[in-house]
């Protein structure tokens, strides 16, 4: 199995959709998980996290834009990287 077939497979789409749904529900239900104050770390991490969640939703539902730039932007690796960066920034702030 190649990396390309794994990222385009139904497992990765289901994983993207599950992670995006879980994170968006967590942010909607309990927004104070990000903290009570909006410091520069939260202001940096939140857009990264939200763009990653958006990309994971796009990948998870199976939509592929015709434009090559948008297709690369909404790919699974970019979405997962943005989510990981956003979570890492939020976790580093807590330490």
Parent domain of 62: 3-94
CA distance 1 to 41: 38
Convert the pLDDT of each residue in 43-75 to its tens digit: 888 899 999 999 999 999 999 889 999 999 889
Task: Categorize the per-residue pLDDT at 4 as very low, low, confident or very high, splitting at 50, 70 and 90.
Answer: low
What is residue 61's predicted lDDT score, i.e. its pLDDT?
93
38 — alpha (psi -120 to 50), left (phi > 0) or beta? beta
Token look-up 């879980």 returns: 22
Confidence of residue 7 (pLDDT cuts 50, 70, 90): low
pTM above 0.85, yes or no: no
What's the CA gap between 67 and 69, in Å, rounded?
6
Query: What's the domain count of the chain?
Result: 1
The DSSP letter of residue 75 is S
Task: Kindly report, residue by residue over 12-28, the tens digit of the pLDDT.
Answer: 899 999 999 999 999 89
């Amino acid at each position: 199995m190649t990396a390309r077939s794994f990222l385009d497979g139904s497992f990765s789409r289901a994983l993207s959709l599950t992670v995006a749904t879980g994170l968006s529900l967590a942010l909607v239900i309990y927004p104070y998980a990000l903290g009570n104050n909006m410091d520069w770390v939260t202001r940096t991490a939140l857009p990264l996290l939200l763009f990653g969640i958006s990309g994971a939703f796009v990948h998870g539902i199976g939509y592929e834009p015709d434009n090559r730039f948008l297709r690369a932007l909404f790919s699974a690796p970019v979405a997962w990287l943005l989510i990981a960066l956003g979570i890492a920034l939020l976790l580093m702030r807590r330490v």
